[in-house]
Structure 1
Amino acid sequence: MNAVLPGAFTDALARHGDRVAVTDADTSLSYAELADRARAAAARLAPHAAAGERLRIGFYAANSTDYVVGYLAALFAGAVPFLADSAFGPFELARIAEDCGLDLLVHAPDADVEQVTERIPGAGEFAGGEFGGLTVSRVRRFDAPAPPLLPDTEVCRFTSGSTGRPNCIEFSGAAVLAAARNWVEGTGLSARDRIACLAALSNGLAFNTSLLAAFLPGASLHLSRGLPTASRIVRLLESTGATRLVAFPALYESIVRRSSTGGFAGVRAAISSGAPLRDSVREEFTRLTGVPVHNYYGVAEAGPLTFAADGTGTGLGTPLPGVEVIADEEGLRVRSESMGSRYLNAPGVFEARVDDEGRYRTGDQGHLLDGVLHLTGRTGRLVNVGGRKIDPIEIAEVLRKAAGVLDVVAFEAEGRHGDPVLAAVLAVEAGPTVQSLRAHCAALLPSFKVPSVFHLVDRIPVNSIGKPSVERLRRLLAEARSN
């Protein structure tokens, strides 16, 4: 196989030499320095590949320059990086390791990875600075054989685990490169841009807009560690002179609530995706900061799809280069040059979502008005909270296992600030409390799947045919909030 991504990165790193490539709170690397570190780290990885096999390397860490070094090192070593959300818990990480046949795992030293890793023979084998503050561990052997990768797969990313088992999406190098090139062309990204990225690089919002896409024209990528609070954002913008801000809607809502205006003088564009950004928040953010918010729509399986170039109107913008969007009674169907190939660990599921013309069924509903995409809902049951898709049935099943729970309904509700949150209404006997139920969820689910709102009742209200009435459940929550 002639890999695409190593050559694309090699060319970009060589062309932009002494320009700043990537920074975090502790480190700044030029393109030349990034190339040197990534090549040195790749040399450490290469000997671990079995004859005729490509190494499968999981990445389970927060954003950092070390993460970027490791990602490039995997590509340069001929390995396949598997980018897992660092918010996944040990249970989901173990499923990923087994389902995908991972060989090595790159992670923070304090990450809870004991269930899936074992010590690499030879103490200090990866000590030497190439991976910076990250640790490289061997993944323990599982009984099930590793599923074969497609010959052109170069990167794997994951869905949010909405069915309890994150689906592993295989991407060809050509698809990843097309996503980056089309984003650069469609959004006018240039060497003058300095991107402040607050989304995880494992997520499509950052992966497609702020990794290879930043390096192709010679822009600089600035990463933040820790919770993306409004004050942390302001410090990042001020210290980097950022021209672009990439973040989820919750962050813009936080800035609006706190009326934070510092640090935005040089920012020309703010990019939002992952969940709907309310028009009122977008308008107030622009009024406070003077910065337009450009909505962007994409799905994990198909990459970036639309972009709102003017940053002033409603909707999610027009299709990016290489993208076709169909909106009809079947819901939104898309075809793009950045499409994934399949789910490695769920044979046939991805293929079943692709129609006869090669368009992927997104599960969203919407319409095109003067070429601009507007979403109106979901064709399925998934809840979109903070850019992550969550299956409420999975959450309900977990809560039903808690002592004293008679019945439970999990659903999307409106939070105190109007943002979508995951809520759970539970019929319980004497004993369970909100605190004990929250702890029960936290022990079994990643943090983003723990409901934000718990409400305890004697009986779940039902409609005329005996099914839970979500409308009455939402009314219960509204009444409880007003009391």
Structure 2
Amino acid sequence: MEHGIFSVDWIANHAKVSPASIACEDVSSGRVLTYAQFDDRIARLTRTFVTVFKALQDDRVLVLSRNDTDVLEIQFACMRTGTIFVPLNWRLSITELQAIVADAEPVALFYGSEFRNVAEQLASTGPIEHSIEMTAGASSEYESLLNAEPMRENYVRKEEDLWALIYTSGTTGRPKGVQFTYGMQLANAIAMGSAFRLGTDSRNLVMLPQFHAGGLLTLANPVFFFGGANVVVREFEGSLVLRLLTDQQTRITHTTGVPTVLEMLLKEPGFERLHSTSLQGFAFAGAPCAVSTIERYVEMGVPVRQCWGMTEVGPFPVVSPLAMPAQKYRSSGLQNSLVEIVIAGQDGEPVSNGQLGEILVRGPTVTPGYWRRPEATRESFTSAGWFRTGDVAYRDDEGYFYIVDRRKDMFISGGENVYPAEVERVLGLLPDVAECAVVGVPHVKWGEVGRAFIVRRQASTIGLQDVRAHCEMHLGRYKIPNEFVFVDALPRNPIGKVTKATLRDIVKVS
């Protein structure tokens, strides 16, 4: 075939080679699908895409659902038809979701039954031709679509063709669709397979949301590439996850989380049972993790693998080795085998080991850019093709990376990126708000939370309840500041710019 490995259908191939091997398990419904069954369901859904949706190459297909094996089927039906898979963040507000729908212009929307009201609103205001409800394996519109005859003719994929869009918030508050190509997916599968030693015996627990690169791309798709199994839970719940990780019948070998997940599991009764698990790799990223937490897992014999990355770069260019030296626990690890990384100074030139600079990444796992955002794409790359991450770090003499600051002003709450400019834009919609500034501050449970400083307009009586209610209408819950502080003025430097460093240093608030 002209396009070689990019046109190889991973699921169809495993269905031929090892049809009885388990492809995925859905914990909430108890569904277990072999590769033959998984392939058959995808083939039936593919027929619907072509005959019912009349889907064409590059048409967008949206999914609004908690974790579900149906989501994985939709992803691979997109692969077979050349349509673009777009998972939606169900934590966003209706206003935010409507903006994404308007940008993506989808041909279809699949949604979990719990999101019916949201889906109806999206369908009534956006360019959605088909809206299909899913009910986790029970009788539903989705299951009725699978009554079609299987379709085995597949779209011929090229390296640069788009498989998925994953929307992330931008510093301007407007969501940006990060483009994922078939070449990126293949390169990521190879890189993660090498780093985490994936194979046909791998069993990955999917507990991060599937609308995130961490829940879908980090290990789930690479495990499919290597013929292993994905065990899917609707969402993270400490006691359930601990039970699955320690169940010898379930035999989980890999999973991906965030530091908040590690902290929550530590507090679960029976945490000590982790010492006898089948875990070969517990990857985590998204925020710094306390060394004491890492040490506790190491004591249990759990191979925690600290990583660094972002949606746009694959997502993990940096992964800690399986046997991480104790003196390196504060690092995020070493670069993976398929990317180039430099630490660059303000002049764009590489700096010496030990010196701070911006992380630049180049390689086959890096996005070609943002959906319909040519200006944002140009700004994100250097003339030599390096992606500007905006993250500040240094590399030691052994090649370990240490992240010392994140993209300007951004903070991470419970593993979710929060951009202050987006929150400030929403607060600025209130007529009684003269100006505002949002910063991230430490939090015991979530790592960081937002603190908003607000200057009222003269004679305004706007209060805490008014501001919070306004945010709840326009922002996803995790973006809403944990604290609102009314001040007479914001601190500024000599050129009039708000000094957020000063705001972060305010410990006591009224």
Name the SS for the 2:374 alignment partner: coil
Residue 479 (str. 1) matches residue 487 (str. 2):
no
C-alpha distance in structure 1 between counterparts of 2:36 and 2:462, whole Å: 58
CA drift at 1:85? 2.1
CA drift at 1:117? 1.3
Q: Show the 5 A alignment for 1:135-284.
A: 152-226=161-235, 228-239=236-247, 240-258=250-268, 261=271, 264=274, 265-266=276-277, 267-284=279-296
Q: Which moved more, 1:338-347 or 1:448-457?
A: 448-457
Q: Is the 8 A contact 2:112 2:134 kept in 1?
A: no
C-alpha distance in structure 2 between counterparts of 1:311 and 1:200, whole Å: 27
Fraction of identical pairs, as percent? 22
Structure 1's consecutive aligned runs of 4 or more residues displaced over 6 angstroms after TM superposition are: 124-131
Question: Which residue identity is paired with 1:339?
Answer: V
Q: Which moved more, 1:423-432 or 1:324-333?
A: 423-432
C-alpha distance in structure 1 between counterparts of 2:133 and 2:468, whole Å: 39
Counterpart in 2 of 1:349?
376
Q: Is the 8 A contact 2:412 2:447 kept in 1?
A: no
Q: Show the 5 A alignment for 1:44-193.
A: 44-48=48-52, 50=54, 53-111=57-115, 112-117=118-123, 152-193=161-202
C-alpha distance in structure 1 between counterparts of 2:386 and 2:445, whole Å: 36
Residue 296 (str. 1) matches residue 327 (str. 2):
no
Counterpart in 2 of 1:394?
422
Counterpart in 2 of 1:142?
none
Question: Which residue identity is paired with 1:413?
Answer: V
CA drift at 1:474? 3.5
Counterpart in 1 of 2:468?
438
C-alpha distance in structure 1 between counterparts of 2:479 and 2:170, whole Å: 10
Q: 1:459 to 1:128 in 2, by over 3 A?
A: closer
Residue 372 (str. 1) matches residue 400 (str. 2):
yes
Question: Which residue identity is paired with 1:76?
Answer: R
Instruction: Identify unmatched segments of 5+ residues in structure 2.
Output: 143-157, 347-357
Residue 306 (str. 1) matches residue 318 (str. 2):
yes
CA drift at 1:199? 1.1
Q: Which moved more, 1:1-10 or 1:236-245?
A: 1-10
Question: Which residue identity is paired with 2:123?
Answer: T
Cα offsets for 1:90-116 (capped at 9, x unmatched): 222222222122111111123202333
Question: Which residue identity is paired with 1:222?
Answer: V
Counterpart in 2 of 1:140?
none
Counterpart in 1 of 2:390?
363
Counterpart in 1 of 2:354?
none
CA drift at 1:34? 0.8
CA RMSD of aligned residues (A): 3.1
Q: Is the 8 A contact 1:322 1:336 kept in 2?
A: yes
CA drift at 1:456? 3.4
User: Could you state the TM-score of these two structures normalised by the residue count of structure 1?
Assistant: 0.86
Counterpart in 2 of 1:448?
478
Q: Is the 8 A contact 1:248 1:273 kept in 2?
A: yes
Question: Which residue identity is paired with 2:167?
Answer: F
C-alpha distance in structure 1 between counterparts of 2:177 and 2:410, whole Å: 18
Q: Is the 8 A contact 1:186 1:320 kept in 2?
A: yes
Counterpart in 1 of 2:155?
none
User: Could you state the TM-score of these two structures normalised by the residue count of structure 2?
Assistant: 0.82
Question: Which residue identity is paired with 1:79?
Answer: T
Q: Is the 8 A contact 2:159 2:183 kept in 1?
A: no
CA drift at 1:174? 1.6
C-alpha distance in structure 1 between counterparts of 2:318 and 2:85, whole Å: 26
C-alpha distance in structure 1 between counterparts of 2:431 and 2:139, whole Å: 41
Q: 1:13 to 1:327 in 2, by over 3 A?
A: farther
Q: 1:76 to 1:231 in 2, by over 3 A?
A: same
Q: 1:283 to 1:474 in 2, by over 3 A?
A: same
